[in-house]
Homo-oligomer: A and B are copies of this chain.
């Protein structure tokens, strides 16, 4: 649990330790980068940002750490169709929480939106219920993206 004034240990310390993982410099640095942006960074984006402060940290470790964070649910991994995975903090003070994406097919811009989540959640609930019965399928997650052209591209 992080301090309210932001001076205490970052919120993720507990999560990491709780899962039995060591709190290392690379992991700290990577989580720092993720918690200080609203963008959807690629592994290399994160590597470059981390590299400015800790030139010794390698790309391999970035990939490994991201996989760890995805497994523990601290980070979401997305594919927006440009051939590289994108990562985004899934929780914590800075994160916007569950949301869906608008993907501009013109310039690649990604827009987070939550405006219609309520109705979507309602639909998802119905869908989950129905599909669960019909296909005996246990839904644990969903992926919703709208593709089109952003304001600058149309």
Q: Is the CB of A150 within 8 A of B128?
A: no
Contacts of A130 in B (CB 8 A): 115-116
Q: Total interface residues on A, using CB and 8 Å? A: 37
B140 touches A149 (CB 8 A): yes
Of A35-43, A90-98, A119-127, the one with at least 4 CB within 8 A of chain B: A119-127
**In terms of DSSP, what is the predominant structure of the interface of chain A?**
mixed
Tallying the copies of this chain within the complex gives 2
Report Cα–Cα, A79/B79, bound state, in Å.
8
* A60 at the B interface (CB under 8 A): no
CA distance A148 to B141 in the complex (A): 6
Could you give, for residues 142-153 of chain A, a 1 whenever the CB lies within 8 Å of some chain B CB and a 0 otherwise? 111111111100
